[in-house]
Amino acid sequence: MRTLILLTLLTIYSNFTYAQSCTTPYRIVVLGSSTAEGMGATPNHGWVALYTQYLKSINANYQVYNLAVGGYTTYHINPTGYVPPTDRPAPDTAHNITKALSLQPDAIIINLPTNDVGRGYTLAEQQANYQRVISLATAQNVKVWVSTTQPRNDYTASMVANLKTMRDWTISYFGDKSIDFWTGMNQPNDSIKWAYSYGDGIHFNDSGHYVLYTRVVARGIPQALCNGTPPPPPVPVVLNSFTVTNSTNKLQLNWNTAYEKNVKRFLVQRSTDSVNFSALATVTATGNDSTGRSYTYLDTVIRKVKQFYRLDVIVADTHYIYSSIKSGMPDTAWGTPPPPQVPVVLNSFTVTNNTNKLQLNWSTAYEKNVKRFLVQRSTDSVNFSALATVTATGNDSTGRSYTYLDTVIRKVKQFYRLDVIVADTHYIYSSIKSGMPDTAYGTNTYFNITNLQVQQSKDKLQILWYSNNEKSTKQFIIEHSSDSLNWNVVGTLAAAGNYPGSRFYNFLDSTVYYRLQYYRLNMVTTTNLHFFSAVVKGMPDTMYTQPFRVATFTVTLQQSKAQLNWTTSAEKNTKNFTIERSRDTLTWQAIGTVNAASNSTTTRSYSFRDTATLTGTVYYRLNMLTHDNRRFFSKVVKFSFPAARIKASPAVPVVTSTNDVVQPVRLAPNPVQESSQLLGLPPGNHAVRIFDFSGRQIYFNPQFQAGRKIDAHLWTRGVYIVVVDEGQYRLKIVKQ
């Protein structure tokens, strides 16, 4: 059923989201590491497997060759004959660009997300490797698409910064031939988003791989191959020059274009280390200009150390390219000391109530070259943020009075101060003044809210309410809190305006939570009055993503038969357990079914007797089904019957990890820590697959040769099964 649903989704996706007018079958080769190999996904659910299914839905004669190998870096895919620097890996001639081109592909996709940074390779090394590989493909007229880096949990802050820099370079350098595998896959701290995490801090699960697959599809590779050219000419923008120069005691940016088409704006970004950039300003572009235009931007803040700048060029409201990075050194010696007379004297500064808002009033006794007052606000009198700018008179020997109304309705005590700007430079902060909003002001005759409540919606929360007899209503702002004190906006809904009856509203919070949550409505009228609803709370369905809480699962011998016993600590919407048996953890056989409890909050005990007469080692697992047809699997339990162990068929030699059966095919070293060699294979290519004990394939190489190393340093501890030539040889290897 799961496969049927996935294939249905793929069909819908290809037919409606990325419809193709090109049905010509092409040959595509994938180079990469463990993500492209499918690590983290269940069999046939890695992004390459999904993309292969998608291409074959366009034309069954598509051919996709996946040469990805776990642990590989940009050095491994360099051309055959390339001699790397000392301590850098040599190209793998069976999985590099030379091998890829020998397959006569129409396109190559490269997916090398994190290993280079993890092994300390510099950004310059990575970029040079990519350029070397791409130039070889370009010489043979083969188009190459390159994925960006991906978020990862176990890296230091500097390593994450390098990942992000490499991400930006990939997007800038490869343009429409880049594939974004970062945006939306990360938490705010740049670790892997929980919903996409396989659990090892490195790889994506099925859901994450599905997102990667959709982004590859979105690049429209078949259509690009059919067209036979890069994106239709001309390119949206050509940057001619970009410079940073001194302008008195500030830095000025100048750039010009040779051509623009649908260019919306330039985002000026600044950095102090050339790695971590933040947005500084937006400069509106001409939009369309066949002759090009010149632009300038003055960084009005006086800097004291070297600064770095770049331009983020926005075409049709979407990031197109980053410019090169330019630096500038401020003229710290510019200017003269201020005149003897102080430039400003603040007489007074107060905060008062104005209906349901807070108003600031201040006056000066004297002003000279005062440009503006920056109004700053805080809720704790320590951390201030900019609220508004009030223009000063500039020069006034008698002083002036000013006022500013904070139009946002506040519900708790607020603190304010003025940042006085003289000659475009911070001069002084005023004293800090506080004000308490009049929370009792006004009567809500606009919204009449009833039945406000929070309900579970699978693993999310839904807010429901009725509004009766609305008058001049504008919108509902849905606010969320995890402690009922600190609130943040999670969404908005348009209100009815004027409605004499009862109207129903609902809002689904898309975030998955794991403990009690609070919500309230911030209700806004057409005249910008704000009213707040009562606070309601709801508990998310924490069992939706894990409806079976299996506490124990054991197998014992009773009268020469296997007796399975298991308990659950809680269940929700559960239907049944299908007991499955396997000899090798690769192929599973259903041997019976036991009904589940449906819903339970207490310990439930279950048992099943395997009536088959068996010898040797057998594996068991529970295939668990919910009433809404979702499946979950228990851990795998290994059980050895006290009879003679299973002997290998002469046609299928078996080599155990303890070497108690001596065969010419073996793994050394075994147990393994970093890498192991598969020795004793006949000459020629062999298909090698490696599975963990849950049956998930973690390695596949269709052109493996004797003596080749298998990189195991990323494996978790445990026992793995190595299958050679579709079962001609089966071996076990232990990762320490």
Write the pLDDT tens digit of every residue in 487-520: 889 999 999 999 988 889 999 998 888 788 999 9
For residue 284, what pLDDT is reported?
Answer: 92
Lowest mean pLDDT among 11-15, 220-224, 352-356, 661-665: 11-15
**Among candidate residues 568, 549, 559, the one with its CA nearest the CA of residue 607:** 568
Answer yes or no: are the C-beta atoms of 114 and 202 closer than 8 Å.
yes
**HSE value, Cβ hemisphere, 13 Å, CA-based, for 580:** 22
Answer yes or no: are the C-beta atoms of 459 and 502 closer than 8 Å.
no
Lowest mean pLDDT among 268-272, 576-580, 658-662: 658-662
Identify the band that residue 235 occupies on the pLDDT scale cut at 50, 70 and 90: low
For residue 231, what pLDDT is reported?
Answer: 39
The per-residue pLDDT for range 140-197, each reduced to its tens digit, is 889 999 999 999 987 888 899 999 999 999 998 899 899 999 998 998 888 888 778 8
Please give the mean pLDDT across all residues of the chain: 84
Alpha-carbon torsion angle 162, 168, 172, 175, nearest 10: 120
Give the CA diameter of the chain. 106
pLDDT higher than threshold 70 for residue 17:
no
Residue type (1 letter), 186: N
Identify the band that residue 277 occupies on the pLDDT scale cut at 50, 70 and 90: confident
d(Cα 646, Cα 676) in Å, to the nearest integer?
A: 26
Tally of CB atoms within 10 A around 452:
18
Give the mean pLDDT of 334-343.
54
For residue 724, what pLDDT is reported?
Answer: 85
450 DSSP 8-state letter: E
Identify the band that residue 228 occupies on the pLDDT scale cut at 50, 70 and 90: low
Q: Is 588 helix (H, G, I), strand (E, B) or coil?
A: coil
Dihedral over Cα of 314, 229, 31, 193: its sign: positive
Percentage of the chain with pLDDT > 70? 90
d(Cα 401, Cα 19) in Å, to the nearest integer?
A: 64
Dihedral over Cα of 258, 263, 265, 267: its sign: negative
d(Cα 551, Cα 433) in Å, to the nearest integer?
A: 58
Q: What is the DSSP string of 665-712?
A: -EEESSSBSSEEEEESPPSS-EEEEEE-TTS-EEEEEEEE-TT-EEE-
Buried b (16+ CB within 10 A) or exposed e, 505-537: bebebeebbeeebbbbbbbbbeeebbbbbeebe
Dihedral over Cα of 525, 527, 532, 538: its sign: positive
For residue 151, what pLDDT is reported?
Answer: 94
Q: Is 191 helix (H, G, I), strand (E, B) or coil?
A: coil
d(Cα 600, Cα 445) in Å, to the nearest integer?
A: 46
d(Cα 363, Cα 368) in Å, to the nearest integer?
A: 14
Give the mean pLDDT of 630-634.
91
pLDDT higher than threshold 80 for residue 533:
yes
Cis peptide bond upstream of 113, omega within 30 = no
Tally of CB atoms within 10 A around 113:
27
**Among candidate residues 356, 355, 521, the one with its CA nearest the CA of residue 447:** 521
Tally of CB atoms within 10 A around 566:
23
Give the mean pLDDT of 67-90.
91
The per-residue pLDDT for range 542-575, each reduced to its tens digit, is 788 888 999 899 999 988 899 999 999 889 899 9
The per-residue pLDDT for range 93-134, each reduced to its tens digit, is 999 999 999 999 999 999 999 999 988 899 999 999 999 999
For residue 341, what pLDDT is reported?
Answer: 59
For residue 461, what pLDDT is reported?
Answer: 92
pLDDT higher than threshold 50 for residue 87:
yes
Cis peptide bond upstream of 671, omega within 30 = yes
For residue 727, what pLDDT is reported?
Answer: 75
Give the mean pLDDT of 378-395.
87
d(Cα 65, Cα 142) in Å, to the nearest integer?
A: 15
The conformational region for residue 158 under phi > 0 = left, psi -120 to 50 = alpha, else beta, is alpha
**Among candidate residues 661, 639, 664, the one with its CA nearest the CA of residue 648:** 661
- The residues pairing with 508 across neighbouring beta strands, listed in sequence order, are 462
Q: Is 274 helix (H, G, I), strand (E, B) or coil?
A: coil
**Among candidate residues 250, 256, 237, the one with its CA nearest the CA of residue 280:** 250
For residue 644, what pLDDT is reported?
Answer: 38
pLDDT higher than threshold 70 for residue 677:
yes
Model-wide pTM > 0.75? no
Provide Rg for the chain, Cα atoms: 33
d(Cα 556, Cα 104) in Å, to the nearest integer?
A: 55
Backbone angles phi, psi at 158, to 5 degrees: -70, -35
Backbone angles phi, psi at 125, to 5 degrees: -60, -50
Identify the band that residue 374 occupies on the pLDDT scale cut at 50, 70 and 90: very high
Identify the band that residue 19 occupies on the pLDDT scale cut at 50, 70 and 90: very low
d(Cα 579, Cα 596) in Å, to the nearest integer?
A: 12
For residue 694, what pLDDT is reported?
Answer: 67
For residue 577, what pLDDT is reported?
Answer: 96
Identify the band that residue 21 occupies on the pLDDT scale cut at 50, 70 and 90: low
Give the mean pLDDT of 30-39.
93
- Angle formed at CA 711 by CA 710 and CA 712, multiple of 5 degrees: 110
The per-residue pLDDT for range 425-467, each reduced to its tens digit, is 888 888 889 887 765 555 567 888 999 999 988 889 999 999 9
The per-residue pLDDT for range 280-332, each reduced to its tens digit, is 999 998 878 777 788 999 998 888 788 899 998 888 888 777 887 888 888 76
Lowest mean pLDDT among 155-159, 266-270, 605-609: 155-159
> Can you read off the two tokens belonging to residue 669?
């070293």
Answer yes or no: are the C-beta atoms of 644 and 616 closer than 8 Å.
yes
Domains, the chain, ordered by start: 2-227 (3.40.50.1110), 237-328 (2.60.40.10), 344-435 (2.60.40.10), 449-538 (2.60.40.10), 548-640 (2.60.40.10), 654-735 (2.60.40.3080)
Identify the band that residue 333 occupies on the pLDDT scale cut at 50, 70 and 90: low
What does DSSP say about strands 318-322 and 294-299: parallel, antiparallel, or unpaired? unpaired
Task: Find all residues with CB under 8 Å of 510, minimum gap 6, and list them.
Answer: 460
d(Cα 150, Cα 311) in Å, to the nearest integer?
A: 23
For residue 334, what pLDDT is reported?
Answer: 55
Identify the band that residue 653 occupies on the pLDDT scale cut at 50, 70 and 90: very low
d(Cα 388, Cα 39) in Å, to the nearest integer?
A: 50
